[in-house]
Chain A
Amino acid sequence: MYHFNFQPIFDNLDMLLHGAWLTVRLSLMAMVLGLVVSVLGAVAKTSGIRPLRWLVDVYVEVIRNTPFLIQIFFIFFGLPAIGIAMSPNTAALVALVVNVGAYGTEIIRAGIESIPQGQIEAGRALALSPVQILRHVVLKPAMRNIYPALTSQFIYLMLTSSVVSVISANDLASAGADLNAKTFASFEVYLVLTVMYFLLAAGFSAVFAMIRRVAFSYPASR
């Protein structure tokens, strides 16, 4: 008969809470930097410059069709062989940014392409400046289409980030692994970790839904 023992976990809850904070910070940083990569990627993809488009295509396809675990191994263990060495925490951030950048590129490209050409022409007919057209005719409606996809991508990124524990980068899953080594209450540790990730995901989902109601109350582009 298995004997459950949650006591050591509650004694070390501060360790896990700190880990949860590290996961949130890492995910937010990766998302912000990943968005920069995504916007650049989407702009390059919708530009007329063929080699640039091809390069972004290769990047997006390679990242989307290989496991994140292999990407992080390649960045952390493989790159030092060609003289690019980094700490586990840096490697974790770089791997997450590279990963989310590929997915984000596609999301933002689809968002930009969802704006009908006629809308832009109508903006010109109304003598709006190119900046005004970009802001009011393209970006605002596009944002509305992009937002739900980006927020679910963020949740997915946060869950994926648990994999950075395999190179001992600092996050919630690593804190759990340390606690597991300390207490040997493996099942209990991972049960509590799973619940914590679930609460993080549910919390962010709720916040994103609230922001959506406030920020995107204007009508969709048709």
Chain B
Amino acid sequence: MIRVFSTADVIFIVMAVRWTLILSAIAFAGGALGGMAIALARTSQRKALRQFAAGFIQVFQGTPLLMQLFLVYFGLAVVGLPINPLLAAAVALTLHASAYLGEIWRGSIEAVPSGQTEAATALSLGYADRMRHVILPQAMRVATAPTVGFLVQLIKGTSLASIIGFTELTRAGQIVNNATFKPFLVFGTVAILYFALCWPLSLLARRMETRMRRAITR
């Protein structure tokens, strides 16, 4: 039965934005924790830690996000968990975000001049204090713009969760399209909603970057 594309359908699609945002928030929160660990491991004194972090980043940046989603989704059964699209998408996107944020933040940590580390060491600050009070606050300023930029990639990435059956914005569009068969209108609406989420963040990232560059080249 084909029905018309009505206000109810538009509301259904708009409401699904919620799940796109929730999934993005979970992945970003998890990715921030994981990414911090990866960034610290990547810049640590221990070779084994550095190599592990480098390998982790390489695997997740060198394979498709779609495959990562499928692997986690079918991997749940392997470790004896029930198959659950939200759990699979959250885990896969968290790992994915950990790798990308880890790489971004490693660059930010390395952007802090080494004299800062040396000065902090000379003041007999231990690793934790050095990181917490000297290095990370400075690295954070460099990291903000690319982090916001990655958030755009992450929100777009959540659309792939529709393929493993999680009902977020993209899948809501597919459901409405199957009922109304107005693909041009439906996917146009979905595209506009994604654009409304991502574009302000892109602009913000660009503005931050310009300001950073001006601060550095003063």
Contact = CB atoms under 8 A, between A and B. Distances in A.
B93 to A, nearest CB: 13
Contact of B163 (A81, A166, A194): A166
Contact of B190 (A62, A70, A80, A165): A70
B126 interface: no
A120 interface: no
Nearest to A186: B74
B98 to A, nearest CB: 17
A61 interface: yes
B140 interface: no
Most chain B beta carbons < 10 A, residue from A69, A71, A162: A69
Given A163-B160, A187-B74, A193 B183 contact: no
A70 B170 contact: yes
A166 B162 CA distance: 11
B177 interface: yes
Given A62-B195, A69-B162, A159 B63 contact: yes
Given A2-B77, A69-B159, A155-B62, A190 B183 contact: no
B15 interface: no
B188 A78 contact: yes
A61 B199 contact: yes
Interface majority SS (helix, strand, loop, mixed), chain B = helix
Given A77-B177, A78-B184, A81-B182, A194 B63 contact: yes
A159 B188 CA distance: 25
Interface residues on A, range: 35 or more
A61 B202 contact: yes
Nearest to B159: A67
Given A186-B74, A187-B75, A198-B59, A73 B67 contact: no
Interface string B66-86: 111011001101111000000
Which 3 A-B pairs rank lowest in CB-CB distance, beginning with the nearest? A67-B159, A77-B183, A65-B198
Interface of B: 59, 62-68, 70-71, 74-75, 77-80, 152, 156-157, 159-160, 162-163, 170, 173-174, 177, 182-184, 186-188, 190-191, 194-195, 198-199, 202
Interface of A: 2, 61-62, 64-71, 73-74, 77-82, 155, 159-160, 162-163, 165-166, 173, 186-187, 190-191, 193-194, 197-198, 201-202, 205
